A and B are shown apart, each in its own frame.
Chain A
Amino acid sequence: MASIYYQVPRFSLRFAPVWQRNFLVWRKLAFTSVVGNIAEPLITLVAFGYGLGSMLQNIDGVPYIAYLASGAICMSVMMATTFEALYSAFSRMHVQKTWDALLNTPLDLDDIVLAEMLWAASKSLISGIAILLVLLALGIGWFPGALLVPPLLFLVGATFASIALAINALAKGYDFFTYYFTLVLTPMIFLSGVYYPVTQLPEWLQAIAGYLPLSAAVHLVRPLLLGQMPDQVLSSLLLLLAYCVAGFYLATILTRRRLLK
């Protein structure tokens, strides 16, 4: 009995209509959704970038606002995908019983988890691209390397969506998600070099920071928006992929245990 929970996920193209369902709902509210997704990081940029930036010297030879923007875009994608894979997915799974309706069709639970993961990543990519366009309008990131940023942001979105779906499968209510934000994501933001270089941290914290998925994301994306080539590309990509695959497998196991009883 228990063994069916741990089977390797089986994928099929049947996930596509579920992704499309979420897209159709999003399309009805797209404008407000994107505005909300851009407004928050933009406020951060203005407040910290200009406010704090005017008092700071350049960081690593880069104006502070550009330094901050190149990290904040990763943070925003992480937040956007997490919100979708926690609050919105939980509504569909638990409150609206949309997933129950899906399970009565030829869809398997693995298809649903895959669709939700890819959808959260897609939605966060849309807001990531919107933020990128705003940065370009502010004169930040006019480098050929910026073209590599969207695919990286999709991977970042997929990674944090997978982890969030595992949390989603454990939740009894919306309150549970607050713990994840305050105990996991917020500390991770401060440890991942979004606001200041990781080298400012004590060495033992730097060691931990090196294994965080958001660190890897910032490590890859920031140089591309500052006209540099990232180093340790392979190890950073592998770290993100490892979190993505492990998170997704955990999400499928926990969701099966929750819904296929």
Chain B
Amino acid sequence: MTILTVKDLYKSYGDGDNRHTVVDGISFSLERGECFGLLGPNGAGKTTTLRLCLGLTVPDRGSITLVGHEVPADARQARLRIGVVPQMDSLDPDFTVEENIYVYGRYFGMSRAQVRARIDWLLDFSSLTAKRHARIGELSGGMKRRLTLARALVNDPDLIFMDEPTTGLDPQARHLIWERLKALLAEGKSLLLTTHFMDEAERLCDRLAVIDHGRLIAEGSPQALIAKHIESQVVEVYGDNASQWAGSASHLADRIEFSGETAFCYTDHPESLLQNLAGTEGLRYLHRPANLEDLFLKLTGRDMRD
């Protein structure tokens, strides 16, 4: 069953020569119980797509159906069934941890008793029971993000929107968030997340879409996307004379790309390449299977984005 359908979505800002298309004909759909990832460099249109899906801005063209409701026309009804973890921290600094959840539940029209009945479970789920009466200023970055997640779950949503859920967190905090998200998926919740962390996408997403310049340029499961777009093996070669070496070894790989002092060699048959490297002095190398980051860089390029 489909929980979110997006068809031919367009959104642009400005007029005349300043017209800038942020979302340029995006379509995708999300099944119940699925984790779907929107990947893309900064400014690719991920956050705008989420805002459109929530009815926070009106598309120029296209249609959105969210938990059975037309958006933006019926966005209020749709948002009753949705939880949102925004990219920017928006917790209420005037309230304690518990009060933040309580007040947020009231926005969904929940009664005092309904929210109270859920708070214990939410605090437990987000490992914040000990911080129940703490002020927001006393929380670490990871605790704040967990509280934002707990707050987003107060209405027991069917689908949770997460905009870069682990940006700015340390590895321990990220793993805890991932584990909680997997627990939600195991409960049958659906997740729509944006990220530019490939390991995050690879771990969590059943399917993902790569977005760049407002267009959807690839879609599928992480494994299928890698198999379709990328050679299966990668050899990363480091060292001062890596580029010199690559010039002589270009026939040994299907593709060689440079980033700084590293040569990335893509091939399905790395044996002769590895043999060559074993006989070359002054180079270090890493042989690994291709991953999502390789795919991402191939599709969106290695140039810096702002």
Instruction: State A107–B56 Cα separation when bound (angstroms).
Output: 11
Q: Is A98 an interface residue (CB 8 A)?
A: yes
Contact present for A21 and B88 (CB under 8 Å):
no
Interface centre among A14, A96, A101, A107 (most CB of B within 10 A): A101
Q: Are A102 and B107 in contact (CB under 8 A)?
A: yes
Known: A96-B90, A101-B90. A261 touches B108 (CB 8 A): no
Q: Which A residues lie within 8 Å of B107 (CB)? A: 14, 17-18, 102, 105-107
Interface residues of B in 35-54 (CB under 8 A from A): 54
Report the separation of the CA atoms of residues A247 and B87 in the bound assembly, to the nearest whole angstrom.
Answer: 33
Task: Name A91-134 residues within 8 Å CB distance of B.
Answer: 96-98, 100-108
Task: Assess the A24–B84 pair: CB atoms within 8 A.
Answer: no
Asked if B13 is at the interface of the complex by the 8 Å CB criterion, the answer is yes
Which residues does chain B contribute within 8 Å of A101, judged by CB atoms? Answer: 86, 90-92, 104
Main secondary structure of the interface of B (DSSP, over half): loop
Given A1-B60, A28-B94, decide whether A17 and B103 contact each other with a Cβ distance below 8 A: yes
Q: Which residues of B contact A1 (CB under 8 A)?
A: 58, 60
Q: Give Cα A98–Cα B103 distance, bound, in whole angstroms.
A: 12
Whether a CB of chain A sits under 8 angstroms from the CB of B68 is no
Instruction: Determine how close the nearest CB of chain A comes to the CB of B270; give it in whole angstroms.
Output: 47
Contact between chains at B86 and A100 (CB < 8 Å): yes
Say if the beta carbon of A58 comes within 8 Å of chain B: no
**Cβ contact of B95, chosen from A17, A18, A24, A104, cutoff 8 A:** A24
Contacts of B155 in A (CB 8 A): 105
A96 touches B54 (CB 8 A): no
- Complex Cα distance, B91 from A92, in Å, reads 11
Least CB distance, A63 to chain B, in whole angstroms: 43
Smallest CB separation, A124 vs chain B (Å): 19
Tell me the complex Cα distance, A28–B108, Å.
23
- Please tell me if A260 contacts chain B, counting CB pairs below 8 Å: yes
Decide yes or no whether B302 CB sits under 8 A from chain A. no
Closest CB-CB distance, B10 to chain A, in whole Å?
11
Q: What CA separation (Å) do A35 and B60 show in the bound complex? A: 51
Whether A104 touches B86, Cβ cut-off 8 Å, given contacts A1-B58, A260-B56, is yes
In the complex, are the beta carbons of B108 and A4 less than 8 A apart?
no
Which residues of chain B are near A261, meaning CB under 8 Å?
13, 57
**B75-83, B186-194, B230-238, B245-253 - the one binding chain A:** B75-83
Taking the closest CB of chain A, its distance from the CB of B138, in whole angstroms, is 16
B5: shortest Cβ distance to chain A, in Å? Answer: 20
Chain A residues with CB under 8 A of B56: 103-104, 260
Chain A residues contacting B103 (CB-CB under 8 Å) are 17, 20-21, 24
A20 touches B106 (CB 8 A): yes
Q: Does B170 contact A (CB under 8 A)?
A: no
A55 within 8 A of B: no
Q: For the complex, what is the distance from the CA of A102 to the CA of B104, rounded to whole Å?
A: 8
User: Contacts A104-B79, A260-B56 known; A17 to B86 CB distance under 8 Å?
Assistant: no
The chain A residues found within 8 Å of chain B, CB to CB, are 1, 4, 14, 17-18, 20-21, 24-25, 28, 96-98, 100-108, 260-261
21 inter-chain pairs at a CB distance below 8 angstroms, sorted by A residue, are A14-B107, A17-B106, A18-B107, A20-B106, A21-B106, A24-B103, A25-B94, A97-B89, A98-B92, A100-B86, A101-B90, A101-B92, A101-B104, A104-B86, A105-B107, A106-B76, A106-B108, A107-B76, A108-B76, A261-B13, A261-B57
